[in-house]
Amino acid sequence: MTSDQPTPTLQDVATAAGVSTATVSRCLNFPDQVTKRTRAKVMQAVNALSYSPNFGARAMASRRTNTIGAIIPTMENAVFARGLQAFQDELHSYGFTMLVASTSYRADIEEEQIRALVGRGADALLLIGHERSPNTYRFLETQNVPTLITWAFDTSLTRPSIGFDNRKAMRDMALKVIELGHRNLAFISARTTLNDRAKARQSGIEDAMAISELRASDLHMVETVYGIEQGATAFEQVMKAASQTTAVFCGNDVLAVGALRRAREMGVRVPEDVSVIGFDDIELAEVAYPALTTVHVPHREMGWRAGKALAELVTNGTPIEAIELDANPVFRGTLAPAKG
Amino acid sequence: MTSDQPTPTLQDVATAAGVSTATVSRCLNFPDQVTKRTRAKVMQAVNALSYSPNFGARAMASRRTNTIGAIIPTMENAVFARGLQAFQDELHSYGFTMLVASTSYRADIEEEQIRALVGRGADALLLIGHERSPNTYRFLETQNVPTLITWAFDTSLTRPSIGFDNRKAMRDMALKVIELGHRNLAFISARTTLNDRAKARQSGIEDAMAISELRASDLHMVETVYGIEQGATAFEQVMKAASQTTAVFCGNDVLAVGALRRAREMGVRVPEDVSVIGFDDIELAEVAYPALTTVHVPHREMGWRAGKALAELVTNGTPIEAIELDANPVFRGTLAPAKG
DNA sequence: TTGTAGGCGTTATCAT
DNA sequence: ATGATAACGCCTACAA
């Protein structure tokens, strides 16, 4: 670096172009309110100085940031990645920037991140799932930040959501599994504390059992934290505690893949001895061997629809229309009829 | 909402607490410059109003944003996810916020994203790989934004990097493969345009061939875009065009997993008929069947070291110390000695 | 320890 | 169509 020249400001451009700052501002924001000739002069100065507007100043003066925040449980694996990419692409096409933060599935961190993004002037927020502390919702309300929920759908709530019904999706899957003759079911669940998706998925299995005249209380449940290794451990626990199990549902594909691995290590054949069912349909599911039977989640569509809805809300005030998407079973190699 | 009460400002808090705005500001930024008593009063007012500082104003007044940007090729899969999460966690512990943007592996989009993040006042930037247009580097220099390169390491360049030597890593892997008797090698590469990692990995294989007195020109190369499906297609091409191939290197695990799948579909046995080698060691690699032999990349360490380096640079001016990490072969099921 | 006041770079409302 | 100029909300010398 030769010299620490300070970044050029609007004023510098104005001086260079021989106009007022107001005119430069207009050139940049409303080009057609300005003469062709003036515009040319100004743009030339802009380029010469390679001026680029100061975000903070602009945010302060216009009281808008063109920023939309997304807060997801984790970036560690691909569960939210595909949807997020679609969300970001859509926002980008509207001229918005996406800010991401992750919570490691912890409610306290989520609240912190919400404050951080709101503090940074996010014009709106995308959140995963409905369940969080009243405090958090109160904050969002007083701050007047529009919020959209995704990865869930629940009309009984007033908050808009664009997602799918976790309970119904899991119920449909479970009905198919029961139809194949499975009676001894287990469920390896993600932590259900402040996680409505996990709870809903459990309820879905129980619904299916009730419909099929099985006793929901017979569902063998193990709750564990996220991770392949945790899924493996949980699978072993299940097989030890309830060895008659023929079908193991998992709260998500990551756990399911762990279960699959441990099954192989234990000499338990999938699907001949026990069927394994996941949820999410991320890349892992296809790649696993045998390929995982799972509930397909419309990642991309959810993402872009959410992006579009928020962009239009912020831009034109178009109210968000709740949208329920389908999440359907995908049958692959890990599910087979129950023996006998 | 009952009333559209405007967000509280520093002034509001000051009034409520019966002090000046300066005192409130100090309470928030340098708590120990203020009496315990005063602080208590102020914090109470802060909570009562649930005040949270305006980012733009703060950025403008302090000329710092406490924001560090990261620009990665894609969020679609887990390649960069683990490292990014570690990066973000480390930044967070220093009080920084991470901004992410993705480029879909396109140089023009990368440049746009760099401008966007700089425009938003990013105090520093994390970029993947060294190779980009001189224009882009010039911009970064005139804007005076410190930049750290990761996912690569090259002392011949003056730019600091914290990463690993792609060429050396791939060479080491290739040497092992050749040692196992493989002579007919193929390489399914990611696009090499403006992608120094892809090029380096290719060079690594060629280096190993040269060392082993094989003709580097005999390496059968296929270049393709990112994706499982693309890896599958490329594998088929390779086996059709060079059926004597016994070892297929892939530029990354995603392509490798695609190759694996197509091999199964084609009735080609891995590793009996052909060995498949990946790069990155993401979750997919472990989960694939057979589990993928691949080059392990120290995702997390790279991420947190990068975060620490940038945070300390921005905070204390500590210059970045380039760090070379190891990326070593991991031998799993897809590699076996060549037949005969 | 606390208060006063000027300035940070834009936008937007008025005039002209 | 263009130009003054008053906000915008916070930080930080400097003064008290």
- The tens digit of pLDDT for each residue in B139-163 reads 888 788 899 999 999 888 888 999 9
Nearest chain B Cα to A53, which residue?
Answer: B119
What does A7-48 look like in DSSP terms, one character per residue?
A: PP-HHHHHHHHTS-HHHHHHHHH-GGGS-HHHHHHHHHHHHH
Nearest chain A Cα to B63, which residue?
Answer: A56
Contact of A62 with chain B, judged by CB distance below 8 Å, is answered with: no
Domain A1-51 CATH class label: mainly alpha
Evaluate if residue B245 carries a pLDDT over 80. Answer: yes
Output the pLDDT for position A2: 33
Strand D close to B57 by CB, under 7 A = yes
| pLDDT confidence band for B262 (50 / 70 / 90) | very high
Q: What is the pLDDT of residues B293-309, one digit of tens each?
A: 999 999 999 999 999 99
Evaluate if residue B3 carries a pLDDT over 50. Answer: no
Q: What is the pLDDT of residues B318-329, one digit of tens each?
A: 999 999 999 999
User: Are A76 and A252 within 8 A, CB to CB?
Assistant: no
Percent of chain A with pLDDT strictly greater than 90: 58
Structure tokens at A336: 């087979």
Residue A68 bridge partners (DSSP): A98, A124
| pLDDT confidence band for B4 (50 / 70 / 90) | very low
Evaluate if residue A131 carries a pLDDT over 70. Answer: yes
To the nearest whole angstrom, how far is the Cα of A213 from the nearest Cα of chain B? 36
| pLDDT confidence band for B66 (50 / 70 / 90) | confident
Closest CA to A113 of A146, A49, A150, A70: A70
Q: Which of B284, B286, B294 to mutate to test the interface with A (most CBs of A within 10 A)?
A: B284
Q: What is the pLDDT of residues B117-139, one digit of tens each?
A: 887 888 899 999 999 988 889 88
Percent of chain B with pLDDT strictly greater than 70: 98
- Mean pLDDT of the A277-284 span: 95
Output the pLDDT for position A79: 86
User: What distance in Å separates the CA atoms of residue B61 and residue B336, rounded to the nearest whole number?
Assistant: 62
Evaluate if residue A115 carries a pLDDT over 50. Answer: yes
Flag residues 158-197 of A with CB < 7 Å from strand D. none
- Mean pLDDT of the A107-130 span: 88
B115-118, long-range: CB within 8 Å, 24+ apart, which pairs? B115/A52, B115/B139, B116/A97, B117/B69, B117/B71, B118/A52, B118/B69, B118/B143, B118/B145
B228-232, long-range: CB within 8 Å, 24+ apart, which pairs? B228/A283, B228/A286, B228/A287, B228/B254, B228/B255, B228/B257, B228/B258, B228/B261, B229/B258, B230/B255, B230/B258, B231/B188, B231/B255, B231/B256, B231/B257, B231/B258, B231/B259, B231/B261, B231/B262, B232/B258, B232/B259, B232/B261, B232/B262, B232/B265
User: What distance in Å separates the CA atoms of residue A288 and residue A144, rounded to the nearest whole number?
Assistant: 44
Domain borders along chain B are 1-51, 166-296
Evaluate if residue A5 carries a pLDDT over 80. Answer: no
Cβ contacts of residue B198 below 8 Å, gap of 6+?
A: B189, B190, B191, B192, B251
Output the pLDDT for position A105: 85
Q: What is the pLDDT of residues A233-254, one digit of tens each?
A: 999 999 999 999 999 999 999 9
Evaluate if residue B213 carries a pLDDT over 80. Answer: yes
Of A24-28, A132-136, A176-180, B109-113, which has the strongest mean pLDDT?
A: A176-180
Evaluate if residue B73 carries a pLDDT over 80. Answer: yes
- Chain A residues inside the 8 Å CB shell of B228: 283, 286-287
Tell me the pTM: 0.88
User: What distance in Å separates the CA atoms of residue A278 and residue A77, rounded to the nearest whole number?
Assistant: 15
| CATH code for the domain defined by B166-296 | 3.40.50.2300
Output the pLDDT for position B217: 87
- Mean pLDDT of the B216-234 span: 94
Output the pLDDT for position B307: 96
Output the pLDDT for position A340: 65
Output the pLDDT for position A238: 97
| pLDDT confidence band for A144 (50 / 70 / 90) | confident
Lowest mean pLDDT among A148-162, A271-285, B178-192: A148-162
Strand D close to B35 by CB, under 7 A = no
Nearest chain B Cα to A64, which residue?
Answer: B56
| pLDDT confidence band for A77 (50 / 70 / 90) | confident
User: Are A113 and A104 within 8 A, CB to CB?
Assistant: no
Output the pLDDT for position B140: 87
Chain C positions with a protein C-beta closer than 7 Å = 1-13
User: Are A296 and A329 within 8 A, CB to CB?
Assistant: yes
Output the pLDDT for position A1: 34
A2-11, long-range: CB within 8 Å, 24+ apart, which pairs? A4/B144, A5/B142, A7/A52, A7/A54, A7/B143, A7/B144, A8/A49, A8/A50, A8/A51, A9/A51, A9/A54, A10/A51, A10/A53
| pLDDT confidence band for B2 (50 / 70 / 90) | very low
Output the pLDDT for position B6: 65
Of residues B340 and B263, more confidently modeled:
B263
Q: Is the dihedral of CA B217, B219, B223, B226 positive or negative?
A: negative
Evaluate if residue A34 carries a pLDDT over 50. Answer: yes
Evaluate if residue B38 carries a pLDDT over 50. Answer: yes
Q: What is the pLDDT of residues A80-106, one digit of tens each?
A: 988 998 999 999 888 888 888 888 888
Output the pLDDT for position B340: 65
Evaluate if residue A3 carries a pLDDT over 60. Answer: no
| pLDDT confidence band for B5 (50 / 70 / 90) | low
- Chain A residues inside the 8 Å CB shell of B260: 287
Q: In Å, what is the separation between the CA of B204 and the C1' of C13?
A: 64
Q: Which of B74, B141, B289 sits opposite A85 (nearest CB)?
A: B74
